[in-house]
Amino acid sequence: MPASRITVLTGAGISTGSGIPDFRGPVGVWTLHPERMRLLDIDAFMSDREVRVAGWREWRDHPAWTSEPSVAHRALARLADAGGLGVVLTQNFDGLHQTGGLSGSQVVEMHGTLHTTSCTRCGEHVDTAAVVASLIANPDPACATCGGILKPDIVYFGEALPADAIDRAVEGAEKCDVFIAIGTTLSVYPVASLAGLAVDSGADLIIVNAEPTEYDRLASEVIREPIDIAVPALVDRYLGEGRSTSHYGN
């Protein structure tokens, strides 16, 4: 069993192996279609019915509904089962860490979840699947209780991250021995700053990402291999199973 206390931060890159495109990569959704960022702007969402209708169509058709966890998701669950994983801080809203075998208590969804929806007026919670199922009749869905605007429980641009998620993330960064950032550009703040916080607190930083990040210079290792190869190999290493991982030391 690993002796290290490991905290993991995951970005969109860990889910690309499950068929979910990332946002900021070379062929990311926003890289190719920057105009689609507006669909996640809270001011536009609240003030413009056309944005809400288009946004809800995107959520209805999102591949998260049919995607399966990747081998990288399952490898992290294997590490957790062995007692080597403290917490997974994820920027993803697809729920694949949980369906891949991690307990909900070990996953901190920094940017929220697609699977539930709330009323922006009264706070009523409903399953997003039920909302998208009604979009033909209600393309701009409203709360059945008060008539307020419904919005998926995803953190939009202009919204604050959940305070409890920030608290748990800071604790995870400060108290770990190893901080592993997987499939994230480490360019979205405040989440990206967790990597620096972990290093400042004495942890080793390992970055698994195809493209360079501004935190590479602080990392003990920077791994450029595909995530579905690198993460299982990294887990094997911590579990003492002897498989090596190609890396570039910094």
User: What are the structural domain ranges in the chain?
Assistant: 1-20+69-111+161-250, 22-61+114-154
* pLDDT for the residue 37: 82
pTM: 0.89
* pLDDT for the residue 27: 56
Buried b (16+ CB within 10 A) or exposed e, 98-125: bebbbeeebbbbbbbbbbebbbbeeeee
Work out the average pLDDT over 4-10. 92
CA distances from 194 to 64, 128, 168 (A): 26, 30, 11
What's the CA gap between 152 and 65, in Å, rounded? 14
* pLDDT for the residue 141: 97
Question: What are 111's two structure tokens?
Answer: 């940017």
Q: Give the type of residue at 51.
A: V
* pLDDT for the residue 21: 80
Q: Given a cut of 70, is residue 81 above it in pLDDT?
A: yes
* pLDDT for the residue 217: 97
115 is catalytic: no
Cross-strand bridge partners of residue 180: 8, 206
pLDDT in tens, 32-73: 555 678 899 999 999 999 999 999 999 999 999 999 999 999
pLDDT in tens, 193-234: 999 999 999 999 999 999 999 999 999 999 999 999 999 999
Which of 12-21, 112-121, 165-174, 237-246 is least confident?
Answer: 237-246
Confidence of residue 26 (pLDDT cuts 50, 70, 90): low
Q: Given a cut of 50, is residue 246 above it in pLDDT?
A: no
Buried b (16+ CB within 10 A) or exposed e, 182-205: bbbbbeeeebbbbbbbbbeeebbb
Per CATH, 1-20+69-111+161-250 and 22-61+114-154 having the same topology is answered no
Q: Give the type of residue at 41.
A: D
Identify the CATH homologous superfamily for domain 22-61+114-154.
Answer: SIR2/SIRT2 'Small Domain' (3.30.1600.10)
In DSSP notation, 40-92 reads GBHHHHHH-HHHHHHHHHHHHT-GGGT----HHHHHHHHHHHTT-EEEEEES-
Closest CA to 166 of 143, 189, 134: 189
Angle subtended at Cα 135 by Cα 134 and Cα 140, rounded to the nearest 5 degrees? 120
pLDDT in tens, 103-157: 999 999 999 999 999 999 999 999 999 999 999 999 999 999 999 999 999 999 9
What's the CA gap between 209 and 206, in Å, rounded? 10
Candidate list 73, 97, 111, 115, residue with the active-site label: 111
pLDDT in tens, 170-186: 999 999 999 999 999 99
Query: What topology is assigned to 1-20+69-111+161-250 in CATH?
Result: Rossmann fold (3.40.50)
Kindly report the average pLDDT of the chain as a whole number: 91
What's the CA gap between 170 and 149, in Å, rounded? 32
Closest CA to 227 of 123, 121, 75: 75
